[in-house]
Amino acid sequence: MAGRIDEAQVRHVAKLSRLELTDQEVAMFSTDLSAIVEYIEKLNELDTTGVEPLAHCLPIHNVFRPDEIKPSLDTEAALANAPQRHDEYFKVPKILDDGSGA
């Protein structure tokens, strides 16, 4: 993707994202996104031969703690502030219809 991001492209992406943008926002995003693309194009001019890709600039490693069995809340304490409950469970509103396939 070389060059400028025009307003038609911004409107297209906004439509795909279901965003309602004003004409002023479309113009602003067009300018901002074009500047970002120009910056990336400038970075692409750099010779990165021999430079290994990395995910983080510092050496990091996972720190795991040993699993320890600890006491947890009993059912009554866990459900004490529940707005609604059904027996020993939280009751939540239905969010999927019967035809959802879930």
Whether the pLDDT of residue 3 is over 90: the answer is no
Confidence tier at 1 by pLDDT (50, 70, 90): very low
Instruction: Report the distance separating Cα 21 and Cα 69, nearest Å.
Output: 52
The whole-number pLDDT of residue 100 equals 65
Does the structural domain 7-44 have CATH classification 1.10.3470? Answer: no
For 52, which DSSP code? P
- 81-96: b (≥16 Cβ within 10 Å) or e: eeeeeeeeeeeeeeee
pTM of the model: 0.48
The pLDDT tens digits of the residues spanning 15-73 come to 999 999 999 999 999 999 999 999 999 988 889 899 888 888 888 888 888 889 999 99
